[in-house]
Amino acid sequence: MCGIIGYIGTEDCANLILEGLRRLEYRGYDSAGIAIITDGRFEIRRAAGKLDRLAEALRGEPVSGTIGIGHTRWATHGPPTELNAHPHRAGDVVVVHNGIIENHRVLKAELLAEGHTFSSETDTEIVAHLVSRERGRGHGLVEAVRLALLQVHGAYAIAALDRTDPETLVAAKNASPLVVGLGDGANYLASDIPAILQHTRRVVFLDEGQMVVLRRSGATFQHIATGAPFEPKVQVINWTPAMAEKGGYRHFMLKEIHEQPRAVTDTLRERVRIERGTVELDGLNLTDEQLAGFSRAVIIACGTSWHAGLVGEYLIEQFSRLPVEVELASEFRYREPCVDEKVLVIAVSQSGETADTLAAIKETQSRGSHVLAVCNVVGSSIVRLSNSNLMTHAGPEVSVASTKAFTTQIAALYLLAVKLGLARGTLQPGRAAVLLQDLIEVPSAIETVLETPASEYVALARRFGNATSMLYLGRGTSFPIALEGALKTKELSYIHAEGYAAGEMKHGPIALIDESVPSVVVCPMGPHFDKTLSNVAETRARGGAVIAVTTPSGAERIGSDADAVLVVPEAPDHVMAFLTAIPMQLLAYHIADFKGTDVDQPRNLAKSVTVE
Ligand code: F6R
């Protein structure tokens, strides 16, 4: 949601900023802009719509300069027009902003009464005016930004420039992500790492309430509240730029689906000790005694990460007998949750920046719970806030629709389930070794699923892609997989799709079935196969087409009872979710591709949901 880029150095930076913005496109946006200081004046170009429109504006009227900021805006206050696009200017100052200024009405009224005039409907323009007002009171840019931010309430990451001070780029963070890239004679700013990865791997993640002053010679850090300087923690990122590129695939999503064998392998690497039947979880700051002492676990997450949490619930309860609840962070945070120090809270998030999950974490920590983050982004807000972490090693996920993050989250939760089982004595090392062996065979089984010819999915997309409504059904861990299949379909192809526990069919959803509503039934051979087969029959009996996702022995049993079958390899029930997730992703991908929707950046969606 909104992307920020900043540069100060010796290179002409318009293209560098535009390229950085392209690498932030996945965050979702609907207008964009850039401001560069040239010979003591601002050159500002803005455009509604995609970055190509901004590139066009820059070709029409090129700009050059060695200090600048850029922004992709995801509209919150005011429609996505050129006038509302950032950067916003007031006097000698321009500002870009990610987040929401909650007290914008009060501040705007105050500024209007003082004679300030506004040219946009955004809350951001107010920040530019506040900084400009402080400049007018005689403060330098850095102090002016700090004093302006003390008047602002809300979530923000901002970057500001002053045309009379082309040696200084100031940025600050409160809630929305911001990373500083440290280069040689040049320094960078971005909302996310891939945007600056080709320039530097040395980064500092700003924490809440911190600001940075970038100059060509280096960066200095201070607290917004006091102005007091501090020494930052510099981290070296080991992602290569190629990891954030499309690598020959038509879409990031397809590339990321195909990266899953590698991503799951990386998530398991150096954590599984088959010979001893144990797991070692770096980042877990809990002893076995502490793990054994919890009375309950609560998993909090949103969207796809919530679905991974639901799979985790089955695994943790089965392996460790620890009761688990899985909660939508957006609901949980407002519910005065019943948690305390006896409850292990597991926060699952790809980005580590999801506002609802962050707020839910704070809520549980204030009640004494230990929070373990299952997260993909090192240094993200959720990782920094949590008491422990279990990193997924999916690598950068660019496509808005989450795929490899999902399977790596399940892998991390599987490891945690085994760890808990061992600590609580419900698993003996011998049994744990078997479960871990099943887990390390998952990447090659995923490879097998990925070998299914694309033509099978293309044919299904042609046959069912014009449906206006679809159902996804499953039992056991196939239920969250059905939910995930429905979510992928609706977000990518805008088809109304519902996921249900297959056993719920007869309690209502079966009324939806007719010839126009195809159902995807996740029914691998295993403990739930026979029951789910009955659901296939009930659906067919009402004229509904069925796409069965099953194993070879399941396909044999189903025979012609389904209209189409997608096959995954036979595997134990506790690893089946990894395998059935893949056809869900590929089917949704191919339907979207058939419909010609924007696969990597579906409408109205943002990769990193940093506002409520
Ligand atoms: C769907 C999707 C979203 C995210 C959700 C949570 O494909 O990607 O539903 O899963 O916005 O995001 P994270 O995991 O970053 O907290």
- pLDDT tens column, 234-253: 999 877 766 667 766 889 99
Ligand 1: lining residues by beta carbon, under 6 Å: 302-305, 349-351, 354, 357, 401-402, 487, 491, 609
Determine the Cα–Cα distance for residues 242 and 503; give it in Å rounded to an integer. Answer: 45
The two three-digit tokens of residue 255, written as one number: 């590339």
- Distance (Å) from CA 433 to ligand 1 centroid: 32
Q: For 553, phi and psi rounded to 5 degrees? A: -70, -30
Lowest mean pLDDT among 72-76, 155-159, 310-314, 496-500: 72-76
* Rg, Å, the chain Cα set: 25
pLDDT score of 154 more than 90? no
In terms of Cα–Cα distance, which of 340, 327, 247 is closest to 296? 340
The two three-digit tokens of residue 144, written as one number: 């002016």
Based on the residue annotation, tell me whether 523 is a catalytic residue of this protein. Answer: no
pLDDT score of 26 more than 90? no
Exactly one of 2, 13, 375, 523 is catalytic; name it: 2
Determine the Cα–Cα distance for residues 106 and 151; give it in Å rounded to an integer. Answer: 11
**Rounded mean pLDDT, 297-316:** 98
pLDDT score of 608 more than 90? no
- Distance (Å) from CA 517 to ligand 1 centroid: 27
Q: Considering only CA atoms, which residue is closest to atom 10 of ligand 1?
A: 304
In terms of Cα–Cα distance, which of 354, 350, 346, 426 is closest to 386? 346
Query: Which atom of ligand 1 approaches the CA of 608 most closely?
Result: 15
Query: Which atom of ligand 1 approaches the CA of 357 most closely?
Result: 16
- pLDDT tens column, 337-383: 999 999 999 999 999 999 999 999 999 999 999 999 999 988 889 99
Query: Which atom of ligand 1 approaches the CA of 401 most closely?
Result: 7
Determine the Cα–Cα distance for residues 395 and 376; give it in Å rounded to an integer. Answer: 7
pLDDT score of 1 more than 70? no
Based on the residue annotation, tell me whether 302 is a catalytic residue of this protein. Answer: no
Q: What is the DSSP letter of 573?
A: G
What confidence category does residue 304 fall into, taking pLDDT thresholds of 50, 70 and 90? very high
Cβ(114)–Cβ(75) under 8 Å?
no
Positive or negative CA dihedral for 592, 596, 602, 607? positive
What confidence category does residue 395 fall into, taking pLDDT thresholds of 50, 70 and 90? confident
| Domains delineated in the chain | 3-244 (3.60.20.10), 252-440 (3.40.50.10490), 450-595 (3.40.50.10490)
**Rounded mean pLDDT, 562-575:** 98
Determine the Cα–Cα distance for residues 149 and 167; give it in Å rounded to an integer. Answer: 21
Question: Average model confidence (pLDDT) for the chain?
Answer: 94
**Rounded mean pLDDT, 187-210:** 93
